[in-house]
Structures are given as structure tokens and as C-alpha cells.
Amino acid sequence: MKAAVVLVSGGIDSATTLALARQSGFDCYALSVDYGQRHRVELEAAARVASMLGAREQKIIKLDLTAFGGSALTDENIAVPTSPSSGIPSTYVPARNTILLSLALAWAEVLGSSDIFIGANAVDYSGYPDCRPEYLQAYEAMANLATKAAVAGVRLQIHAPLVDLSKAQIIKRGVDAGVDLSQTLSCYQPSRGGQACGQCDSCRIRRKGFEDAGIADPTVYV
């Protein structure tokens, strides 16, 4: 079985991505990052997801992005918006996917893997620039010049199987792949017990996704 590194945050998208990677026959290494996110409890969901979907191993890497701040998710003085706004919301974390993919690239090279999976989605999303296909393509091009493996002729692929799906489609795909979505967490400001606020961007997109998919929303809201 070919090894793949899968970025797993604990939300619907990364859980579905992990399930699809497993269905495609990959031996999956789940990578999660404890970056000081406000919704740190998502790491518990990430561990559940990695385990229930049969990841070979999960690593949780610590990296304190609150040292930079600049986001509602990494600076507690910036509030999480609870109503829709125009433009990219303050929950955007500077360079987050670039950092996450770079850590995945490092692990992939050590594992001898040429496949990285990310649950990026550019349809029902918050407009984060590092979720768009053109960004992911540029990342892949860069990565294929970055490593000893690349110099040796290994062609790295960044897989983003959800990139052009709607949230409803992702939810259906996840359910079809056997993902227990009740075990995932999307909320940016959950309670300590992991109950969702129902008001942040991420909750709104998720809730509407279940409605559009015609699937009962298993999320526990506060």
C-alpha cells in the first residue's frame, strides 16, 4: 500500500478526505497541528477521526502561531464573527495551509511518500485564499523543487478531493464513505465539552450543508 500524509483537523472536510484517501487504497498518516487555535478541542475530534477511519498513525505537532497572532483563531483579543460579512473574515489565519502543507511535506519525505491529502474546499468556504485550486497547484509545483526526493525524481502530488464540491456534496460523500460525522467538530468557538456555537462562519456553513444535503445534522449545539 502506498503511504499518504493526510492533514486532519477534526472537521467534516478533513474526515471525509481521510475516508476517501483510505478508499483509494492509501496507508494514511494523519497529521494534526496544535497551533494555539482557539478551538483547540478540535484536536480531540482529530484524534477520534484518525482512529475511527483507520489511520496508520497520527502525529499532533505543536507550533505556537499565537506568537504571530493576526487572526481571531490565534489572538483572543480578536472576536470570532457571528454574522456573515463581506470579504475574507478575521478567522483567516495567515499562511496556515502553507505551514500545514510544509509540515506534511516534511513527514511525507521522511516516510518516502509522494502523496499529501488536504480537505481544502473552495465552494462553500470562507474565502480563505489558501483553499483555492490555483494556490494548491502552485504549492505542488514548489514542493516538486523543494526536496531531496523531488531531485531524485519522485513526483509529489497534493490531493484535494473536495476542492470543487459544495458542503452538501462533501457531507453526502462523507456519509457514503462511512464517516460518522457526529464525531467531527467544525466550530471555531466550541464549549470546553466540544459543543458547537452554531453562529460562527464554520458552524453556519456546516449547518446549511446538512440542510442542503437533506441529512439530519448530528451536531450538538450549545
Q: Does 210 bind a copy of itself (CB under 8 A)?
A: no
Chain centre to alpha carbon of residue 13: 6
Residues 29-58 that bind a copy of itself (CB under 8 A): none
95 belongs to the binding site for a copy of itself (CB under 8 A):
yes
The CA-atom distances, in angstroms, between 119 and each of 37, 87, 93, 170, 193 are 18, 21, 16, 10, 25
Give the DSSP H/E element, type plus range, for residue 141. helix 133-146
Q: Which residues of 133-160 are buried (b: 16+ CB within 10 A; e: fewer)?
A: eebbeebbeebbebbebbeeeeebebbb
Stretch that binds a copy of itself, among 18-26, 40-48, 61-69, 189-197 (CB under 8 A): 61-69
Between residue 137 and residue 156, which ones bind a copy of itself under the rule CB under 8 A? 138-139, 141-143, 145-148, 150-151
**Among residues 20, 55, 23, which one has the least CA distance to residue 170?**
20
All cell numbers assigned to 93: 489565519
Q: Which three cell numbers stand for residue 106?
A: 516534511
Compute the distance between CA of residue 30 and CA of residue 71 in angstroms, rounded to an integer: 25
The interface region with a copy of itself, picked from 77-85, 125-133, 172-180, 210-218 by CB under 8 A, is 125-133
Give the amino acid at 186.
S
3 binds a copy of itself (CB under 8 A): no
Residue 59 lies near a copy of itself (rule: CB under 8 A): yes
Q: Select from 85-93, 188-196, 200-208, 213-221 the region that touches a copy of itself (CB under 8 A).
A: 85-93
Residue with Cβ nearer a copy of itself (120 or 181)? 120
- Applying CB under 8 A, among 130, 184, 185, 197 the residue interacting with a copy of itself is 130
> Per CB under 8 A, which region of 7-15, 39-47, 60-68, 192-200 contacts a copy of itself?
60-68
Least distance to a copy of itself, CB of residue 5, Å? 10
Residue 76, C-beta contacts closer than 8 angstroms, at least 6 positions apart:
38
Residues at the contact surface with a copy of itself, assessed by CB under 8 A: 59, 61-65, 67-70, 88, 92-99, 102-103, 105-107, 109-110, 128-130, 132, 134-135, 138-139, 141-143, 145-148, 150-151
